[in-house]
Amino acid sequence: MLDKDFIEDRKKDLLTEKERLEKELGSIATKEDGNYVTNFPKIGDEDEDNELEVSEYEQAIDAEKKLVGLLNDTIEALKKIENGTYGHCDNCNQDIDPERLKVYPSAKTCITCEDK
């Protein structure tokens, strides 16, 4: 069982990470109706510019998907703190090692289940 101070420290870590992810997402996407939509870069009107725009847009879409996934994991971990289930493996319901949570506060699984 995790002590109150440990959980409070992880909550601070998660809130900091949430803020960072939202800021990073804001640089490549716009939030509309609760979802992020990748911004299309406007570089120029030449054919070469169009190719670059499409390439950058594809990269931004990939980055947005990854960031949204990380943000969702972070929000889920914060919800678990609020409902008292933080630090329990989603698969086996055993406690997640506190050292793992220090490094990866939004961890959903213990090391044993992660390796399966």
The pLDDT assigned to 49 comes to 65
Would you kindly state where each structural domain of the chain is located, as residue ranges?
A: 4-114
Mean pLDDT of the chain: 91
Residue 30's H or E segment, with its range, is strand 29-32
- Compute the Cα dihedral for 79, 6, 96, 21 and give only its sign: positive
Q: Are 89 and 110 in contact (CB under 8 A)?
A: yes
Given 1.20.120.910, 3.20.20.330, 3.40.1710.10, 3.40.50.620, which CATH number is that of 4-114?
A: 1.20.120.910
Confidence band of 44 (pLDDT split at 50, 70, 90): low
* 109/102 Cα distance (integer angstroms): 14
